[in-house]
């Protein structure tokens, strides 16, 4: 019965092939390729900007990199069982995204807003922290415009000049919230605050982190400039991963969910966003 033999030979061959395949896989690794890649390299490369952004990442008095993002990235690496390696090369926040796309870094934990534009290129985890939008308003110009205290009324008209940092999430917010105003893009936030103080700009739009850092650096500035923390939709920060690293994304989201329910994320928010105690340790 050659046909029957043929059939059993086929079955035996198939079983053999299956077992060999399984054995090969087991010998290689049980881990998905994205996790495996990081595990085998022994380090998690975390992208950040070259500029420091307290309280997310900054140098303390003993010149160590610390901050909310540093705490979080270190914990992710520890749970993955690898060392953490911070790659601080990017000049802008958009460049951080490019680094993850080009696989020059595994993830980005870098005070990075999860905007829709960025989410076209990389995958974002759930937001791990959110900061409220803030407006720095020149008091004298606001008083002279005689438009009353309402912010929308003050900023949304043709004579209003508003500064935003190029490539920041505030750029999009400002254009959407104040369509009639003249939105001017700046290279950095320091120039915006200088021009608001110098009455070249009516206002600068960013978030509460930028606003509070400016207040700390220029305590007398509040005489000329009012800081308004807006109730509007907050700016959310997510961790960026490569679009192919799907399992890593799931795993980090799972870790964030645990950290959220055990109160760790809340404590981080309290330590770095609500309180100013970290400022005592800044270099």
Partner 1 sequence: MEKRYSVTERVSRAILSPWATGAAIGLAVCFGLWLPTLSIGLKPLGEIYLALLQMCSLPLVICGVVASIGRVLRDGQSKRYLGRLVMVVVGGLFVTAALAIALGLIVRPGSGLSTEASQTLGRLLSATEIQGGTGAPLKEVSLVDFLTSAVPKNIFSALSLGSQLPILFFSIVLGISLGVTGASRSASALESFEATFDALLKLIEWLLYALPLGLLSLLSAQIAEAGLSIFVAMLKLILLVNAAVLISLIAGNFIIARKTGRPYFTVLRQLLESLLIAFATKSSFASIPSALRAMQKLGMNRGTTDLVIPLSVSLNPIGNVHYYTISAIFIAQLYGVSIPPSAMVTFLIGGVLAAVAGSALPSAAAIGVISILLEPLGLPVGSAVILILAIDPFIDPATTALNVHGSCVAASLVDDGAGNSEHPGVTQSPFSTN
**Residues interacting with partner 1, by CB under 8 A?**
139-140, 142-146, 149, 151, 212, 215, 218-224, 226-231
From the CB of 223, what's the least distance to partner 1, in Å? 5
Tally of CA atoms within 13 A in the half-sphere of 78 that contains its CB:
6
**Quick check: helix, strand or coil at residue 188?**
coil
Q: What is the DSSP string of 2-59?
A: HHHHHHHHHHHHHHHHHHHHHHHHHHH-SS-HHHHHHHHHTEEEEEEESS-BTTTBEE
CA 275 to mean position of chain CA atoms: 20
Q: Phi first, then psi: what are they for 50, rounded to 5°?
A: -65, -35
DSSP assignment letter at 244: T
From the CB of 76, what's the least distance to partner 1, in Å? 31
Nearer to partner 1, 12 or 223 (CB): 223
From the CB of 225, what's the least distance to partner 1, in Å? 9
CA 157 to mean position of chain CA atoms: 31
Name residues whose C-beta falls within 8 Å of residue 171's C-beta, 6 or more positions apart in sequence.
164, 165, 183, 185
From the CB of 211, what's the least distance to partner 1, in Å? 9
Q: How far apart are CA 6 and CA 172, in angstroms?
A: 68
Nearer to partner 1, 2 or 149 (CB): 149
From the CB of 262, what's the least distance to partner 1, in Å? 28
From the CB of 241, what's the least distance to partner 1, in Å? 34
Of all helices (H) and strands (E), which one includes residue 84? Answer: strand 83-90
């Amino acid at each position: 019965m050659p046909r029957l033999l043929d059939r059993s030979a086929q079955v035996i061959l198939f079983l053999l092939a299956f077992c060999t395949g399984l054995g090969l896989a087991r010998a290689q690794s049980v881990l998905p390729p994205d996790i495996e890649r990081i595990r085998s390299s022994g380090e998690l490369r975390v992208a950040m900007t070259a500029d420091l952004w307290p309280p997310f990442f900054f140098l303390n008095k003993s010149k160590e990199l610390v901050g909310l993002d540093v705490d979080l990235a270190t914990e992710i690496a520890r749970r993955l069982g690898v060392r953490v390696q911070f790659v601080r090369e990017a000049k802008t926040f958009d460049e951080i995204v490019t680094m993850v796309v080009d696989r020059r870094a595994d993830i980005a934990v870098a005070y990075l807003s999860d905007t829709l534009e960025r989410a076209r290129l990389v995958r974002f985890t759930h937001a791990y922290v959110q900061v409220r939008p803030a407006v720095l308003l020149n008091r004298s110009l606001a008083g002279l415009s005689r438009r009353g205290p309402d912010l929308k009324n003050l900023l949304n008209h043709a004579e209003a000049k508003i500064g935003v940092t190029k490539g920041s999430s505030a750029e999009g917010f400002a254009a959407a919230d104040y369509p009639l105003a003249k939105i001017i893009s700046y290279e950095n936030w320091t120039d915006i605050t200088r021009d608001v103080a110098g009455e070249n700009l009516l206002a600068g739009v960013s978030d509460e982190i930028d606003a509070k850092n400016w207040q700390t650096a220029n305590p007398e500035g509040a005489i000329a400039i009012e800081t308004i923390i807006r109730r509007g939709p907050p700016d959310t920060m997510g961790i960026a991963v490569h679009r192919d690293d799907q399992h890593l994304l799931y795993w980090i989201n799972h870790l964030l969910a645990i950290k959220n329910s055990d109160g760790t994320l809340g404590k981080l928010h309290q330590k770095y966003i609500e309180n100013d105690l970290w400022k005592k340790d800044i270099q």
